[in-house]
Amino acid sequence: MTNDAIPNLTAFDEAALDRAFASLAQQARDAAAALGTSEAIESFRLEWLGRRQGRLNEISSSWLKAAPPEAKKLLGQRFNALKKLVEDLLDQAAGGGPSDAALAAEAVDITLPGTRRLTGAEHPITRTLNEIVSVFAALGYSVGVGPEVETDYYNFESMNFPPGHPARDTQDTLVVANQERRLQRDRLLLRTHTSPVQMRTMESQPPPVRIVIPGKVHRNDAADATHSPIFHQVEGLCVDTKITFSDLKGTLDHAMKALFGSAVKTRFFPSFFPFTEPSADVQISCIFCGGKGCRKCKQSGWIELLGCGMVDPAVFAFAAGKQPAYDPKKISGFAFGMGVERIAMMKYGISEIGQFFAGDMRFLEQFV
């Protein structure tokens, strides 16, 4: 704070100026790094920037005045830089920012490998399910859901599986315990298919209806490469006046081409479901061999993919109990149901259905 803080400058060449200013800058930095209290900061300010006796003032009065004219510019530039440095140091200290020591303790070693955050992705079943739904949404279908714990009435009886009907045996499931006192139709079970949501939909709205219903279903099936006691289906229902089997064929042919590529062909084989009449199994030309015959299609050139048919009048009769407009003499409709796992397995070349539910990251990461 006195003249002795500012040495006499005897040489004014660039190197001498650089040395003199570098030494001052270092002193300022060292002093600033040690600043803790606001009093210390204020005395640092006075020491360097004080009007009367501040060091910068000293420099300008003693060095600048003594400098030969040709050195004044060089000296002035360095003076300004030092002043700026002191002001910045003050700003930092006054800002209450962490000290250099604190910063060093927190410093991140940017040469270490970082922590990679995993990118989430849709599960392949969710992705396939959404893809199927969006094919039908583009045709104007709405999307619905229904309960997974369902009554015997919706899952079976209203879908035209009367009590004791042998078709029930093909869809064995888990039932909720201790319901013996309830009527059979009210007993709860884990739904075996998404078809009961057809009935729930019709009961809640008059025709016309175009809806797809994705969801989880349950069966008492032994697990093997292609069977799982839990799986997913997408159900479809279309009801209006004058809906025909041609509408069903055209709709599903389009959907299969949208899902598997425009080269895919479809064919409809007679089948049986209690809730459709006539019923059909839809086969698509083998997407692996193009129909020539291979191991995947058991040399037939065709792969069976879903069930469908014209809604049975008996099903409409159940719906008409709540919505009289479902008069089988006045309206008609088609329905279909497809297994999401089966379609996903074909699309992604997966041979074990259990992979979908095992939670193995090595499997799931392939779908990121």
State the residues that interact with ligand DAH by CB under 6 A. 193, 195, 235, 273, 276, 307-309, 335-337
Residue 215 has φ and ψ, to the nearest 5°, of 175, 175
Distance CA 202, CA 223 (A): 34
Buried b (16+ CB within 10 A) or exposed e, 333-347: bbbbbbbbbbbbbbe
Tell me whether residue 124 or residue 309 sits nearer to ligand DAH (CB atom).
309
Nearer of residues 204 and 366 to ligand DAH, judged by Cβ:
204
Q: Name the 3-class secondary structure at 281.
A: strand
Q: Which of 58, 312 has the CB closer to ligand DAH? A: 312
Which amino acid is residue 254, in one-letter code? Answer: H
Q: Are strands 209-218 and 142-143 parallel, antiparallel or unpaired?
A: parallel
- Nearer of residues 286 and 308 to ligand DAH, judged by Cβ: 308
Minimum distance from residue 300 beta carbon to ligand DAH (Å):
21
Given a contact cutoff of 8 angstroms between Cβ atoms, the answer to whether 234 and 338 are in contact is yes
DSSP 194: S
Shortest spacing between CB 212 and ligand DAH, in angstroms: 11
**Least distance from C-beta 234 to ligand DAH, angstroms?**
10
Q: Which residue is closest to ligand DAH by CB?
A: 337
Q: Which is nearer to ligand DAH, 133 or 335 (CB)?
A: 335
Q: Residues 6 or more apart from 335 whose CB is under 8 A from it?
A: 195, 198, 235, 236, 237, 238, 275, 276, 308, 309, 310, 311
- Closest separation in Å from C-beta 127 to ligand DAH: 21
Contacts of 164 (CB under 8 A, 6+ apart): none
For the chain, state the CA radius of gyration.
41
In degrees, rounded to 5, the angle at the alpha carbon of residue 284 between the alpha carbons of residues 278 and 289 is: 155
The residues pairing with 214 across neighbouring beta strands, listed in sequence order, are: 234
By C-beta, is 54 or 307 nearer to ligand DAH?
Answer: 307
Q: Tell me how far apart the alpha carbons of residues 210 and 202 are, in angstroms, rounded to a whole number.
A: 10
In the bound state with ligand DAH, the residue whose beta carbon lies nearer, of 24 and 319, is: 319
Q: Give the SS3 label for residue 309.
A: strand
- Measured distance CA(203)–CA(71) in Å, rounded: 98
Q: Are 325 and 332 in contact (CB under 8 A)?
A: no
CB of 245 to ligand DAH, least distance (A): 12
Minimum distance of ligand DAH from residue 235's CB (angstroms): 5
Smallest gap from Cβ 164 to ligand DAH, in A, equals: 19
Minimum Å gap between C-beta 336 and ligand DAH is 5
User: Both tokens of residue 169?
Assistant: 């045996």
Contact 284, 302 (CB under 8 A): yes
Which C-beta is closer to ligand DAH: that of 276 or that of 285?
276
Q: How far is the CB of 201 from ligand DAH (least distance, A)?
A: 12
Q: What is the DSSP letter of 312?
A: P
Nearer to ligand DAH (CB atom), residue 28 or residue 346: 346
Q: How far is the CB of 231 from ligand DAH (least distance, A)?
A: 10
Nearer to ligand DAH, 47 or 201 (CB): 201
